[in-house]
Amino acid sequence: MTSSATATPNKSRNLALVVGGTVIVLATYLYLVISQPTELQTSSTAPAGLIAMAGYLVGAVLIAAGSIHRLSTTTIAMIPVAIALNIVVGQLVAVIGLPVYLDSMGTVLVAALAGPAAGVVTGILTNVIWGLTLSPIVLPFAVVQVVIGMMAGYAARGGLFRKPWLPPIAGALTGVVAAMISAPISAFIFGGATGGGTGALVGMFQAMGQSLLGATTMQGLLSDPLDKLISFTVVYLVLSALPARFKQRFPFVRQYQVFGKAPAAKA
């Protein structure tokens, strides 16, 4: 491809950015879970909200910066449509009144066709654009979309889009990770109050004796795996309805045989 020649000199730098960003995200999560900054206390040495915000933001930005240069122009041209899909379907679902979000189907779609780097960029920019157009409260959650894009890309690379029963599993797994990563944001930045239904669940878990972080984690585990399971499955169904020649145009799809072996070209 045309862009690979220009990307090569910075390959190690890009890899360092992605690895560094991932380490920062994981370290932020582990610190917040292990140190258990229970609640806001004036004596708290390290403000949990600030650490959650800064660690996740820096991590997400580094991963995205390391990913953007790996993308071909075709992939770049596809991402705006995928983001629009995320946002428009996300809003539509809210209007129809479904109990899930379905705001990452575009991310999963791009990741399945063009790989983890494309998924990462779609994910982070979805939240940036959501923040610019609708509401800034999604911005602190950008890292969650980054994780979803990355995991969906690696799921595609690992062959989890080859059999119909695999995408739901990959989706549920991605949902578990997404729930865990997003829990500290819900807890320490929003006090568990990200919405009416989710807030009620957090309150219920707290009343049952859970800590704030425990309650947001459990609330996330109730909704995210189901949401991502549906998203991955719907994307799989939509993609399997498309003709193979569309999908085989993507170098990522050909290289990793994302949808199994390419059928022999028919005359």
Partner 1 sequence: MIRLDDVGYTYPDAPAPALQHVSLEVPPGSITGVVGASGAGKTTLAKVIAGFIPQVEGGELTGSATVDGRNLAELSLVEAVSKVGLVIQNPFNQISGARYTVRGEIAFGLENLGTPRAEMAAGVDEVAALLRITDLLDRSPYALSGGQMQLVAIASMLVLRTPVLVMDEPTSQLDPAGTRLVFSVLDTLEEAGVTVVIFEHKLELLQAHADRLLVLADRTIALAGTPTEVLADERLSGWGIGATRYTRAARLARERGLIGAEVPLPVSFDQAAAVFGTGAGGAR
Partner 2 sequence: MSSTLYVERPSAVHRLNPVTKLVALLCVIVVVFAIPQWWASGAVLLLVIVPAAVISGCGGALARIGGQILLPLLVVLVLVQGLTFPGGQTVLWRWGPLALTTEGLMFAATIGARIVVLVLSSVLLVLTTHPGDLMSALTEAGMSPRFAYIISSTLQLIPSFRARADSILLAQQARGLAVPRNPVRRLGVLMPLLAPLVLGMFTDVEERSTAMEARGFGSTAKRTTLTPVRDSRAQKVARWVMPAVALLAVVLQVGWGLL
**Span 83-142, contacts to partner 1 by CB under 8 A:** none
Residues 146, 152: Cα–Cα separation, whole Å = 10
Closest to 147 measured CA to CA, from 173, 126, 123, 163: 123
Which of 196, 217, 237 lies closest to 36 in space, CA to CA? 217
| Under rule CB under 8 A, residue 202 binds partner 2 | yes
128 is an interface residue for partner 2 by CB under 8 A: yes
238 contacts 89 by C-beta, under 8 angstroms: no
Torsion angle (degrees, nearest 10) of CA 213, 219, 221, 226: -160
Mark 158-187 with x for binding to partner 2 (rule: CB under 8 A) and - for no binding. ------------------------------
- Stretch of 25-33, 48-56, 148-156, 169-177 lying at the interface with partner 2 (CB under 8 A): 48-56
User: Number of residues in contact with partner 2, rule: CB under 8 A?
Assistant: 86
100, 123, 126, 138 from 103: Cα distances, Å: 9, 10, 9, 11
The CB-of-67 to partner 1 minimum distance in angstroms stands at 20
Find how far residue 255's CA is from the centre of its chain: 23
Check residue 222 for interaction with partner 2 (CB under 8 A): no
Per-residue contact flags (x/-) with partner 1 for residues 230 to 249, judged by CB under 8 A? ------------------x-
Residue 266 as a binder of partner 1 (CB under 8 A): the answer is yes
Tell me: does residue 129 bind partner 2 (CB under 8 A): yes
- Nearest residue (CB) to partner 2, 121 versus 218: 121
Rounded to the nearest 5°, which phi and psi values hold at 213? -65, -40
Nearer to partner 2, 47 or 159 (CB): 47
Q: How far apart are CA 82 and CA 99, in angstroms?
A: 22
Q: Which residues bind partner 1 (CB under 8 A)?
A: 2, 80, 248, 262, 265-267
